[in-house]
């Protein structure tokens, strides 16, 4: 694999930005990173074990201040060092400019590919010439052992494994796109200056232009990120739910897929109803029965997911995961409401400005 060789000098240092002629069967693996010393070495060693023989590795350092750039230089022939952080959208776009493959495969620095990951995505494109992009899934063996990491990573696995194979959007945890499609769309939206929904936004543009995106459920990677409550809430609310709400309102569509399915929306409303009835039950005890009924209905709608938690962690893990899942419903609905207000305020401001 010609990309997995000792690195050349930084292209930023040399001031080069070469124009690449794409190879019809090569996969360009593009990984942006920022202060990724905890995961980057293992991420790159996992790629060495790939059983696909025609790919290149392109690493983009998004202004790291730790020593992760030194790790990158040891592993990649194509290494780009940005002097200051610009966010993964900018970094991925710069990496794609160096790509020589017809397929651009984006992963994060805390993701470990399986030996067959790249081969499977290449086979998927070969089997369907009309396919624009393919995404995969996290596996069900996250290495971080703390509860929130296991809950978050296993939930992500479950959601993708039960989503539509005709994917509603794109995902850079494990996502590949044809280079020609990527260029026609103009790449990632660089207005997202930090990790956010730049991949989802690209997927919406793809679908709006009529391109097809496939979810291949046996195309898997391991997600090594260690979540804390603070990082989880910041990611779910600030970096995902708020901008995703605005994106959905802008496109005037809410997809019936992933964690936005009708089942999930119904369950979230049931949990909200249960909370409201339970609160009112302190004054009107007869309402507590209604709260219990709403909880039972929500559990019934999610019975397969909660059984999945039990099978992967036992009773105590399952109970904590259910509680966290209900908390997720509540803060996601609050974020959706806040996003709606922000969207409407932005439209009002735009109308006032144009008037």
Q: Which residue has the tokens 């929904």?
A: 197
Q: From 242, 198, 260, 201, select the one nearest 341 (Cα to Cα).
A: 242
> Rounded mean pLDDT of the chain?
90
Q: What is the DSSP letter of 88?
A: H
Q: What pLDDT was estimated at residue 15?
A: 40
Q: What pLDDT was estimated at residue 76?
A: 83
> Range with the lowest mean pLDDT among 73-77, 140-144, 258-262, 289-293?
258-262
How far, in Å, CA of 120 to CA of 136, rounded? 10
Q: What pLDDT was estimated at residue 355?
A: 55
Can you spell out the DSSP letters for 137-197? EE-S--S--SHHHHHHHHHHHHHHHTS-SB-SS--SSEEEEEHHHHHHHTSS-TT--SSSS
Q: Quick one: pLDDT band at residue 254, thresholds 50, 70, 90?
A: confident
Domain 11-227, CATH class in plain words: alpha beta
Q: Quick one: pLDDT band at residue 4, thresholds 50, 70, 90?
A: very low
Q: What pLDDT was estimated at residue 16?
A: 38
Q: What pLDDT was estimated at residue 10?
A: 38
Q: What pLDDT was estimated at residue 261?
A: 83
How far, in Å, CA of 327 to CA of 158, rounded? 18
Q: What pLDDT was estimated at residue 184?
A: 96
What pLDDT digit, counting tens, does each position of 37-56 carry?
Answer: 999 999 999 999 999 888 99
Q: Quick one: pLDDT band at residue 25, thresholds 50, 70, 90?
A: confident
Q: Is a pLDDT exceeding 60 seen at residue 150?
A: yes
Q: What pLDDT was estimated at residue 11?
A: 38
Q: Quick one: pLDDT band at residue 351, thresholds 50, 70, 90?
A: low
Q: From 114, 98, 110, 121, select the one nearest 47 (Cα to Cα).
A: 114
Greater confidence (342 vs 309) lies with 309
Q: Quick one: pLDDT band at residue 255, thresholds 50, 70, 90?
A: confident
C-alpha distances (whole Å) from 239 to each of 74, 192, 200, 220, 253 are: 32, 10, 12, 24, 20
Task: Find out whether 52 and 122 touch, Cβ atoms under 8 Å.
Answer: yes
Task: Tell me the domain boundaries of the chain.
Answer: 11-227, 258-354
**Average pLDDT value for residue range 222-242:** 95
Q: Quick one: pLDDT band at residue 257, thresholds 50, 70, 90?
A: low
Q: Quick one: pLDDT band at residue 338, thresholds 50, 70, 90?
A: very high
What pLDDT digit, counting tens, does each position of 64-116 carry?
Answer: 999 999 999 998 889 999 999 999 999 999 999 999 999 999 999 999 999 99
* Residue % of the chain over a pLDDT of 90: 82
Task: Find out whether 119 and 56 touch, Cβ atoms under 8 Å.
Answer: no
Between the two ends of the chain, the Cα-to-Cα distance in Å is 58
What pLDDT digit, counting tens, does each position of 192-201 carry?
Answer: 999 999 999 9
Q: What pLDDT was estimated at residue 53?
A: 81
Going 5 to 49 to 172 to 69, the CA torsion angle's sign is negative
Q: pTM to 2 decimals?
A: 0.89
Q: What pLDDT was estimated at residue 291?
A: 96
Q: Is a pLDDT exceeding 70 seen at residue 18?
A: no
């Amino acid at each position: 694999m010609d990309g997995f060789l000792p690195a050349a000098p930084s292209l930023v240092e040399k001031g080069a930005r070469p124009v690449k002629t794409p190879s019809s069967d090569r996969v360009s693996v593009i990984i942006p990173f920022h202060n990724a010393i905890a995961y980057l070495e293992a991420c790159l060693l996992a790629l060495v074990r790939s059983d696909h023989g025609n790919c290149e590795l392109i690493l983009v350092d998004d202004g790291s201040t730790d020593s992760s750039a030194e790790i990158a230089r040891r592993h990649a022939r194509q290494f780009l060092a940005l002097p200051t952080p610009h966010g993964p959208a900018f970094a991925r776009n710069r990496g794609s400019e160096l790509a020589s493959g017809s397929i651009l495969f984006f992963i994060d620095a805390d993701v470990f590919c399986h030996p067959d990951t790249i081969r499977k995505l290449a086979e998927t494109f070969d089997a369907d010439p009309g396919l624009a992009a393919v995404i995969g899934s996290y596996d069900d063996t996250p290495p971080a052992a703390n509860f929130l990491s296991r809950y978050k990573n296993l939930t992500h696995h479950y959601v993708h494994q039960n989503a539509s194979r005709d994917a509603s959007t794109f995902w850079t945890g494990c996502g590949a796109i044809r280079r020609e499609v990527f260029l026609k769309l103009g790449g990632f939206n660089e207005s997202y200056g930090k990790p956010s929904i730049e991949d989802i936004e690209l997927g919406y543009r793809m679908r709006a232009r009529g391109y097809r995106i496939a979810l291949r459920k046996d195309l898997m990677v391991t997600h090594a990120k260690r979540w804390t409550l603070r990082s989880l809430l910041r990611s779910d609310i600030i970096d995902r739910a708020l901008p995703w709400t605005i994106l959905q309102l802008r496109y005037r569509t809410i997809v019936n897929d992933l964690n936005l399915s009708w089942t999930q929306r119904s369950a979230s409303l049931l949990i909200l109803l249960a909370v409201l009835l339970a609160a009112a039950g302190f004054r009107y005890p007869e309402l507590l029965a209604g709260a219990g009924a709403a909880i039972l209905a929500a559990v019934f709608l999610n019975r397969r997911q909660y059984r999945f938690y039990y099978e992967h962690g036992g009773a105590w893990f399952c109970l904590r995961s259910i509680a966290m899942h209900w908390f997720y419903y509540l803060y996601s609905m609050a974020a959706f409401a806040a996003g709606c207000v922000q969207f409407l305020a932005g439209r009002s401001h735009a109308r006032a400005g144009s008037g």
